[in-house]
């Protein structure tokens, strides 16, 4: 129960920061996605089921708070969380390469899934242009931010576990 | 009811994805109003978002504060450097202006003296202020026709006489020295006397052997009398600052303040007598 409350508070803070501070951290077209990174980290530690569940909650919460298509972010986060949890499996906590790789993969997967859903809903957004102008810069930025954010997050959760 | 297995969970996830997709399809496009849940959530999160934005605005202002501070610092440093350069320029120009005035006055004096003397303008290159002898070295010597005993003057008045010469320099004994005696007279009353330095490094002169009843007064000018061949008559020496009775009680002794500022002596003129030596 305590864990769930802590998780909910963290998620809430991430969503608030995502919609306020992260916009200020834009570099060109790239903007870090703190909520997605949180989902990816969670999926790394708790597997595909945890990743999918948190991805769904986080995405749905974001959709309700500020979304246009209610459910699209939930789909992309949920699928991303599940796939990251499935692909990465067990890893050594202090392996920053895996963290960066998971963040990059998660970022790209999320963007592609979202694009695909949008495409299915009838919005013709050019894929390659989106890939080079948004997906890849976002991926790189998230990669960097993941490494920066992961250190205090790991410290915090390690202490909580102890 | 048993918990679903892995396959079951995957199936639930897939169903959820499909459901969400249809929800997205239903909610996309123009909607009149937000749903109740959306309204509530947006209202709840609004104060947190505004608080976060407030903090963000404050925090994002900090780097700007430092960058603007640094920019200001750089600007101040730049202006200070410019100011320093301008100050140097002003100093240089002031120095040039002063030198110009000084040289012009010296030139006038040189022209005045040129009638009966052969003036040689030169520069002081060394000061020797010892307790028993006050001299300066000038950068003209035997090669320029200078000889021992020739008078040295500045634009303000009398400086001294040459006591030693080398081929390129000469030593000038200042009238401040006890040995630097000059035949003089008080300009207004024409009272004669002998002027000698107070010595001991003092910037003072004494006018000695003044008759007891001489009508001299303070602040009057004393000039050279021209009784010797060394100095031309009428060269300004100093002004009287004090008058007292000499130790014998029969003569007066006046203390003079020299017109020449010996601490700032730079350019001087050596007076070469036309067609003769000035050996004293």
Is B225 part of a structural domain of the chain? yes
| The pLDDT of residue A82 | 92
Q: How many residue pairs bridge chain A and chain B with CB atoms within 8 Å of each other?
A: 69
Q: B254: closest CA among B203, B220, B229, B230? A: B220
Chain A residues closer than 8 Å to B34 by CB: none
Cα B52 from Cα A17, distance rounded (Å): 7
Chain B residues closer than 8 Å to A25 by CB: none
Closest residue of chain A to B50, computed from CA coordinates: A20
Q: Does B141 share its domain with B217?
A: yes
- Contact, B183 vs B194, CB < 8 A? yes
As a CATH number, domain A2-161 is 1.10.1760.20
Chain B residues closer than 8 Å to A117 by CB: 21, 24
- Contact, A142 vs A104, CB < 8 A? yes
Closest residue of chain A to B7, computed from CA coordinates: A49
Q: Which residue has the higher pLDDT, B108 or B177?
A: B177
Closest residue of chain A to B17, computed from CA coordinates: A75
b/e burial code for range A82-113 (CB count within 10 A of at least 16 → b): bbbbeebeeeeeeeeeebbbbbbbbbbbbbbb
Residue A66 at interface with chain B, using a CB cutoff of 8 Å: yes
Residue A84 at interface with chain B, using a CB cutoff of 8 Å: no
| A119-145 pLDDT, tens digit each | 888 887 788 888 888 899 999 999 999
Flag whether pLDDT at B9 surpasses 60.
yes
Instruction: Please report how the helices A136-161 and A96-120 are oriented relative to each other, as an axis angle in degrees rounded to 10.
Output: 130
Q: Does B98 share its domain with B124?
A: no
Is B183 part of a structural domain of the chain? yes
Q: Does B94 share its domain with B137?
A: no
Contact (CB<8Å) A65/B20:
no
pLDDT band at B273 (very low <50, low <70, confident <90, very high): confident
Q: Does B254 share its domain with B155?
A: yes
Q: Does B136 share its domain with B72?
A: no
Q: Does B267 share its domain with B155?
A: yes
Chain A residues closer than 8 Å to B58 by CB: none
Is B123 part of a structural domain of the chain? yes
| B182-212 pLDDT, tens digit each | 899 888 888 889 998 887 667 889 998 888 8
Contact (CB<8Å) B27/A70:
yes
Last residue of a domain, one of B84, B113, B142: B113
Last residue of a domain, one of B68, B88, B113: B113
CA A7 to chain centre: 14
pLDDT band at B29 (very low <50, low <70, confident <90, very high): low
Average pLDDT over residues B229-253: 85
Contact (CB<8Å) B56/A56:
no
Last residue of a domain, one of B52, B85, B113: B113
- Contact, A46 vs A85, CB < 8 A? yes
Is B10 part of a structural domain of the chain? no
What is the CATH number for B127? 2.40.10.350
Q: Does B223 share its domain with B142?
A: yes
Q: Does B81 share its domain with B167?
A: no
The total number of structural domains that make up chain B:
2
| The pLDDT of residue B74 | 87
Contact (CB<8Å) B9/A49:
yes
Q: Does B232 share its domain with B136?
A: yes
Indicate the domain borders of chain A. 2-161
Q: Which residue has the higher pLDDT, B252 or B34?
A: B252
Residue A49 at interface with chain B, using a CB cutoff of 8 Å: yes
Cα A131 from Cα A140, distance rounded (Å): 12
Contact (CB<8Å) A117/B16:
no
Spans of chain A, pLDDT less than 50: none
Q: Does B123 share its domain with B256?
A: yes
Residue A25 at interface with chain B, using a CB cutoff of 8 Å: no
Q: Which helix (H) or strand (E) holds A83?
A: helix A72-88
The whole domain housing B237 covers 119-273
Chain A residues closer than 8 Å to B49 by CB: 16, 19-20
| The pLDDT of residue B201 | 64
């Amino acid at each position: 129960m305590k864990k769930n409350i802590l998780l909910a508070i963290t998620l809430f803070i991430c969503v608030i920061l995502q919609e306020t501070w992260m916009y200020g951290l834009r570099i060109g077209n790239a903007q870090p996605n703190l909520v997605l990174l949180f989902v990816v980290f969670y999926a790394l530690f708790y597997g595909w089921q945890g990743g999918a569940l948190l991805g769904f909650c986080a995405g749905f919460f974001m959709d309700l708070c500020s979304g246009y298509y209610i459910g699209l972010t939930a789909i992309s986060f949920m699928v991303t969380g599940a796939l990251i949890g499935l692909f990465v499996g067990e890893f050594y906590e202090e392996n920053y390469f895996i963290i960066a790789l998971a963040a990059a993969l998660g970022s790209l997967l999320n963007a592609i899934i979202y694009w695909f859903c949008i495409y299915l809903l009838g919005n013709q957004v050019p894929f390659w242009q989106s890939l080079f102008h948004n997906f890849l810069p976002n991926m790189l930025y998230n990669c960097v931010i993941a490494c920066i954010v992961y250190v205090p997050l790991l410290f915090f959760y390690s202490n909580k576990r102890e | 009811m048993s918990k679903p297995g892995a396959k079951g969970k995957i199936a639930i996830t897939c169903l959820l994805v499909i459901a969400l997709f249809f929800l997205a399809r239903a909610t996309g496009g123009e909607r009149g109003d937000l749903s109740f849940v959306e309204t509530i959530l947006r209202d709840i999160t609004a104060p947190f978002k505004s608080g976060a934005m407030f903090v963000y605005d404050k925090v994002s202002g900090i780097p700007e504060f430092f960058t603007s501070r640094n920019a200001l610092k750089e600007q101040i440093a730049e202006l200070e450097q410019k100011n320093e350069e301008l100050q140097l320029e002003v100093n240089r120009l002031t120095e040039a202006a002063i030198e110009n005035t000084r040289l012009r006055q010296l030139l006038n004096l040189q022209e005045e003296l040129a009638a009966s003397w052969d003036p040689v303008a030169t520069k002081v290159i060394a000061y020797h202020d010892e307790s028993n002898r006050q001299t300066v070295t000038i950068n003209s010597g035997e090669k320029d026709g200078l000889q021992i005993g020739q008078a040295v003057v500045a634009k303000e008045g009398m400086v001294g006489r040459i006591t030693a010469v080398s081929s390129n320099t000469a030593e000038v004994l200042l009238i401040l020295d006890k040995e630097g005696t000059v035949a003089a007279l008080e300009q207004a009353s024409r009272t004669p006397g002998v002027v000698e330095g107070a010595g001991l490094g003092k910037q003072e002169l004494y006018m000695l052997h003044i008759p007891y009843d001489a009508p001299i007064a303070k602040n009057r000018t004393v000039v050279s009398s021209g009784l010797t061949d060394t100095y031309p008559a009428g060269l300004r020496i100093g002004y009287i600052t004090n008058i007292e009775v000499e130790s014998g009680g029969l003569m007066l002794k006046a203390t003079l303040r020299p017109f020449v500022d010996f601490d700032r002596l730079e350019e001087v003129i050596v007076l070469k007598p036309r067609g003769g030596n000035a050996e004293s």
